Amino acid sequence: MMRERRTRWLVLSLVGLALMSCLCSVKAENTLQPPVKLIWHYYKLNTTCPDAETYIKHQVKLFWQKDKSITAKFLRLLSADCLSKNGCDGSILLDGRNSEKNAPQNQGLEGFEEIDKIKIVLEDRCPGVVSCTDILNLATRDAAHLAGAPSYPVYTGRRDCLRTSIDAVDFPSPSISWQEGLAYFESKSLDVLDMATLLGAHSMGKTHCSYIKDRLYNFNGTKKPDPTMNKSLLKELQKKCPKKSKTNPTVNLTPKSGNDYQFTGLYYSKILSKKAVLGIDQQLRFGDDTMQIAQEFAPKSGFEDFRRSFALSMSRMGNIKVLTGKDGEIRRNCRRRN
Ligand SMILES: *[C@@H]1O[C@H](CO)[C@@H](O)[C@H](O)[C@H]1NC(C)=O
Ligand SMILES: *[C@@H]1O[C@H](CO)[C@@H](O)[C@H](O)[C@H]1NC(C)=O
Ligand SMILES: *[C@@H]1O[C@H](CO)[C@@H](O)[C@H](O)[C@H]1NC(C)=O
């Protein structure tokens, strides 16, 4: 399976611009809906906003210089958008009581103000042209690149959805088994390599104690901690996340790279040494394929493979159920429909 994906990557780097059609001709385990609807540098080719990508990159750089956590925020925001039932359509950005951002799984999502700021710049330069969904995809790529990820190609021309609903959020609990995790990713037409790769974004960022308390005190209903967690990590996390606490503090997902928001492969070494923080992360140790992937990405020599796989999986995630043509609209304000 890994070899198949590598071949795909090779073909892809050779052909470059034809990336999406390549993906379709090289048979994937799970074929994503043909993303041929999106276009490489859409706003430039369309001549409606030739410098859109430059404006976005510039804004993202300013955010990043002020606060490096922007990378983790955008990665989570984009995943929340693309992995909801209606796909990459900017629905996560819409305000409203019944909107996706108010689902319990999306508690603590950030980055909305930054997307608004980029949108204001673009509305000033090219009014009514660049979709909020494309802004989110491009900005996430640029923020990830600043943190050390490759600058992967983001195809554009997505349009924004007209409505959102809290019911569209089917993000599972982070305490599920790897089988349940895989079933979820497969329901989005992503595969096991996408899952193991995209979760690697947990090399940075934080999580709220509420997402790991079950692992620390009552794993899967056993009233005991998760037996697969390293004991010294367990003690440390129990101290930071007391059983009875009215507050809900945060802990770093991957302590070393987490603080300075660096994109690294440390996440995979943590899995191998039983020091992953979220349940689903540690679960990667238990699937044959996922364990093999973690073993490949963990060593220094595997970092390049991880970077390549990350580029490809981010592209695949960004193509889930996109709206193009006459569907949806180009929102003028990302928080509400026109
Ligand atoms: C450019 O964008 C406009 C507005 O969205 C659209 O009507 C037109 O078909 C696009 N042209 C191309 C070449 O994609
Ligand atoms: C929790 O227990 C259920 C039922 O025994 C099992 O199917 C599931 O895989 C377990 N989850 C984890 C994370 O081990
Ligand atoms: C858990 O982590 C500590 C600290 O890094 C290490 O010394 C210890 O050997 C680990 N325990 C196990 C069982 O791997």
Q: Which of 144, 171, 198 is the last residue of a domain?
A: 171
Q: Which residues are annotated as a binding site for Ca(2+)?
A: 81, 87, 89, 91, 100
The reported pLDDT for the residue numbered 254 is 79
- Flag whether pLDDT at 24 surpasses 70: no
C-alpha span between 159 and 324 (Å, rounded): 5
User: For 258-315, what is each residue's pLDDT tens digit?
Assistant: 567 889 898 999 999 999 999 999 999 999 999 999 999 999 999 999 999 999 999 9
- Flag whether pLDDT at 13 surpasses 80: no
Mean pLDDT on 224-240: 94
Which atom in ligand 1 lies closest to the alpha carbon of residue 47?
1
Instruction: State the ligand closest to the CA atom of 273.
Output: 3
In a domain, 243, yes or no: yes
Four-point Cα dihedral 292, 22, 187, 319, nearest 10: 120
Judge contact between 143 and 74, C-beta under 8 A: yes
Mean pLDDT on 211-221: 93
In a domain, 3, yes or no: no
Which atom in ligand 2 lies closest to the alpha carbon of residue 279?
13
Judge contact between 136 and 90, C-beta under 8 A: yes
Residue ID of nearest Cα to ligand 1 atom 12: 46
Q: Which of 171, 199, 231 is the last residue of a domain?
A: 171
Catalytic residue among 5, 76, 158, 331: 76
User: For 28-58, what is each residue's pLDDT tens digit?
Assistant: 334 444 455 899 999 999 889 999 999 999 9
CATH code of residue 211 = 1.10.420.10
Question: Which residues are near ligand 2 (CB < 6 Å)?
Answer: 176-177, 220, 279
Which atom in ligand 1 lies closest to the alpha carbon of residue 42?
14
Judge contact between 336 and 94, C-beta under 8 A: yes
In a domain, 1, yes or no: no
125 is annotated as an active-site residue = no
Note the pTM of the prediction, 2 decimals.
Answer: 0.87
Query: How many percent of the chain have pLDDT more than 70?
Result: 88
The reported pLDDT for the residue numbered 46 is 86
C-alpha span between 73 and 110 (Å, rounded): 6
**Domain residues for 83?**
37-171
In a domain, 7, yes or no: no
Domain match, 199 and 163 both: no
Q: Which amino acid is at 231?
A: K
- Flag whether pLDDT at 323 surpasses 70: yes
- Flag whether pLDDT at 20 surpasses 80: no
Residue in this structure with the two tokens 């993202």, named with its chain if needed? 60
Which pair of structure tokens corresponds to residue 256? 């070393």
Q: Which residues are annotated as a binding site for heme b?
A: 202
Which atom in ligand 1 lies closest to the alpha carbon of residue 45?
13
Q: Which of 139, 156, 171 is the last residue of a domain?
A: 171
The reported pLDDT for the residue numbered 205 is 82
Distance of CA 320 from the midpoint of ligand 1 (Å) = 21
Residue ID of nearest Cα to ligand 3 atom 3: 232
Local confidence band at 129 (pLDDT 50, 70, 90 cut-offs)? very high
Number of folded domains in the chain?
A: 2
Domain match, 159 and 213 both: no
Residue ID of nearest Cα to ligand 2 atom 7: 177
Alpha carbon distance, N-terminus to C-terminus of the chain = 45
Distance of CA 48 from the midpoint of ligand 1 (Å) = 8
Distance of CA 228 from the midpoint of ligand 3 (Å) = 12
